[in-house]
Amino acid sequence: MKKAIRGRCLSYRGNPFTEPLSDCLHYEEDGLVVIEAGNIVAYGPALALQRDVGADVAVTYYKDAIICPGFIDCHVHYPQTEMIGAYGKQLIDWLNKYTFITEQKFANKEYALKSAEIFLKEMLRAGTTTSAVFCTVHPQSVDAFFEQSAKLNMRNIAGKVLMDRFAPIGLKDTAQTGYDETKELIAKWHGKGRALYAVTPRFAPTSSAEQMEVTGAVWQEHPGTYLQSHISENKAEIEWVKELYPNRKNYVDVYRHYNQLGPRAIYGHAVHFSDDDFRIFSESGTAIAHCPTSNLFLGSGLFQLERAMTGVPSVRVGLATDLGGGTNFSQLVSMNEAYKTAQLNGFALDAHKAFYLATRGAAEALYLGDSIGSIAEGYEADITILDLKATPILDYRLEHAETLEEQLFALIMLGDDRVTRATYVAGELVYERDHETGSMRFIGI
């Protein structure tokens, strides 16, 4: 059965970092999004489309709101939900003190199921409809995540962490068990419903050379799957990699040597990248997940966003929260921190570029740019409704905003999960919030 959503609609059909905004922006002041069987079947001016929709189609009109593609999070750890905001001096200290202790709990599937439920609710409350997710070393943590995701019919990417050294015994697999369990999980979940699988080595230091070898092998054996990991987040981490892999040129060369670069590989952070690192990522089709709240929280450094997006050659980049290193589920908050990080690097990130990084840009980073991340005919109907009256100060500020870009920038600076008025997954309403009462309702989980 067809349904439709009406209101101010914002989407992008090109990259505003490299193309004129007029060629990229698809904005309708009074737009209509027509949905059928989980997909968008028409999008355009409401008055023009209404004649073809039919009187029997239910239309939900969102006043004082912006309808946009569901946000996409390119790098996040669902098991770290319970330790978000935990104090840590630097990356390695924080991993040992909090992360590795927390993740051992996910040997218990019931525990993992509850955590996955809470995580997905928070994502939907923030308007995020797709994420690239790290589970733990335990296969049951993957089963728990995908089972909860399937209840909502979400387009999510996830995988079992591969880690056979420098971790507690309860978090270590072996090269062989990691390989075997990954193959089993790919067969079980990849392409089932809207689930997609990512081969997931935590990062080069916590995998032996043997495990790195089989990690690259299992990914190459399963075309269409993803690979996700971390790279060049912290200077001490980079020095550690040099000690552990003395025969490799640098951190990027480690992953290249073990066949872990290429289309559908996405690496979190890449803070301390050289021009040569960017070139290799570009030429191989490897993407970067920009994690600004995490990079600031852990003092990792300032990602070179301008260089990545506009340099020659440029690299695919999507925005990410990196919870629990990051400190907020909302991609509006991530945009806020990305703006500040870019400013400190001498680059003024405007609102359209920021929204692109959390929608179409993130979809392109994940090689899903033909199915999610935009409002367009033929795309999956993952949609977020942003409430322009979510808080008194936002309402007041927007009364004085004269352009769309000024309104979007105010949303970035003043917004958080309270701005999410409604979230649709595959055309179905799964979350809504009343801005007057603050009451929230989840459907399906």
Domain boundaries in the chain? 3-70+373-442, 71-365
Q: Is the pLDDT of residue 93 over 90?
A: no
Among the listed residues 320, 389, 421, the one whose alpha carbon sits nearest the alpha carbon of residue 361: 320
- Looking at residue 172, its pLDDT comes to 96
- Looking at residue 234, its pLDDT comes to 92
The secondary structure of residue 380, as a DSSP letter, is B
Average pLDDT, the chain: 96
Report pTM. Answer: 0.97
- Looking at residue 348, its pLDDT comes to 97
| Cβ-based neighbour number of residue 288 at 10 Å | 30
Q: Name the residue with higher pLDDT: 52 or 80.
A: 80
**What letter represents residue 435's amino acid?**
H
85 pLDDT tier (thresholds 50, 70, 90): confident
Q: Is 149 exposed, middle or buried (0-12, 13-18, 19+ CB in 10 A)?
A: buried
Q: Name the residue with higher pLDDT: 99 or 234.
A: 234
- Looking at residue 436, its pLDDT comes to 83
φ, ψ for residue 428, nearest 5 deg: -105, 135
Q: Is the pLDDT of residue 24 over 90?
A: yes
5 pLDDT tier (thresholds 50, 70, 90): very high
Average pLDDT over residues 113-134: 98
55 pLDDT tier (thresholds 50, 70, 90): confident
Q: Furthest-apart CA pair in the chain: how many Å? A: 69
Q: Which CATH number fits domain 3-70+373-442: 2.40.10.10, 3.40.1350.10, 2.30.40.10, 3.90.1150.10?
A: 2.30.40.10
CB 302 within 8 A of CB 322: no
94 pLDDT tier (thresholds 50, 70, 90): confident
Q: Is the pLDDT of residue 157 over 90?
A: yes
- Looking at residue 110, its pLDDT comes to 98
Q: Is the pLDDT of residue 83 over 90?
A: no
Q: What percent of the chain has pLDDT over 70?
A: 99
- Looking at residue 96, its pLDDT comes to 74
Lowest mean pLDDT among 78-87, 141-150, 304-313: 78-87
- Looking at residue 435, its pLDDT comes to 82
Average pLDDT over residues 350-367: 98
**Cα–Cα distance for residue pair 159/185, rounded to 1 Å:** 8
Per-residue model confidence as pLDDT tens digits over 168-215: 999 999 999 999 999 999 999 999 999 999 999 999 999 999 999 999
Q: Is 89 exposed, middle or buried (0-12, 13-18, 19+ CB in 10 A)?
A: exposed
Domain 71-365 matching CATH 3.20.20.140: the answer reads yes
Q: At what angle do helices 109-125 and 139-151 cross, to 10 degrees?
A: 40
